[in-house]
Chains A and B, each alone.
Chain A
Amino acid sequence: DAGITQSPRYKITETGRQVTLMCHQTWSHSYMFWYRQDLGHGLRLIYYSAAADITDKGEVPDGYVVSRSKTENFPLTLESATRSQTSVYFCASSESTVEKLFFGSGTQLSVL
């Protein structure tokens, strides 16, 4: 089905473990984004990508790694998870920098 999908929907992990959150979009949008949502902070940008093989840091990139080898995929990796990374993570895509963002349903991550 067309759209933007995130997996897994829920994830529990332990501190120090590596975790990868997946994001896939079927529109061939150029831009993709990762946000985290925390109570009292709203949505904060982690990383974004303007095209395949082009990524850049957002507001809160520390502890995260991204890659974009294919236009449709934009995985987010926590190399060594910490409790402060417990959050809801949203992936989004758009055709251009100021066009409508299409959001996935989110991944709720708990780091114990």
Chain B
Amino acid sequence: AQSVTQPDIHITVSEGASLELRCNYSYGATPYLFWYVQSPGQGLQLLLKYFSGDTLVQGIKGFEAEFKRSQSSFNLRKPSVHWSDAAEYFCAVGPNQAGTALIFGKGTTLSVSS
């Protein structure tokens, strides 16, 4: 069955430091992969997505992610974190076996220290 694992529940990064959030997936075919961000009290917003082609994808707000098929990973990175990046980040894979919906990981909460 399809699944998504985000190994880190909570990460704290200093402002200006680099960031990497991990995501591992289990999927029987070529996956569609997504990263969403959720600010406190808000719905989720798409950061970036991978369907095919170049394995390094660029997203909004200076984020990027790299698809590594051999490692079943889709890690999110940012070279320099800003305080406004503090939020919860969700990795998602899809569609599910029914062919319709995304499967989300449990999320990683990012705190940014000054």
**Chain A interface residues toward B at CB < 8 A:** 31, 33, 35, 40-45, 48, 50, 56, 58, 90, 92, 97-98, 100-101, 103-106
A42 and B101 contact, CB distance less than 8 A:
no
Q: How far is the CA of A101 from the CA of B94 in the complex (A)?
A: 12
A56 & B43 in contact (Cβ 8 Å cutoff): no
Q: B49: nearest residue on chain A (CB-CB)? A: A100
What does DSSP make chain A's interface, helix, strand, loop or mixed?
A: strand
Q: Which of A42, A45, A56, A103 has most B Cβ within 10 Å? A: A42
With the chains together, A105 CA to B105 CA distance in Å? 19
Q: Does B51 contact A (CB under 8 A)?
A: yes
Query: Is A98 in contact with B105, judged by CB distance below 8 angstroms?
Result: no
| A104–B42 alpha-carbon span in the complex (Å) | 8
Contact call A42/B104, Cβ cutoff below 8 A: yes
- Chain B, Cβ-Cβ closest to A38: B106
CA separation between A104 and B49, bound complex, in Å?
19
Contact across chains for B44 and A101 when beta carbons are under 8 A apart: yes
| Distance of A31 Cα from B98 Cα, bound (Å) | 13
Other contacts beyond A97-B99, A98-B32: 5, CB < 8 A: A33-B101, A44-B104, A97-B100, A100-B46, A105-B41
List of B residues within 8 angstroms of A58 by Cβ: 101
- CA of A98 to CA of B49 in the docked complex: distance in angstroms? 10
Instruction: Say whether, besides A103-B45, A105-B42, A31 and B106 are in contact (CB < 8 Å).
Output: no
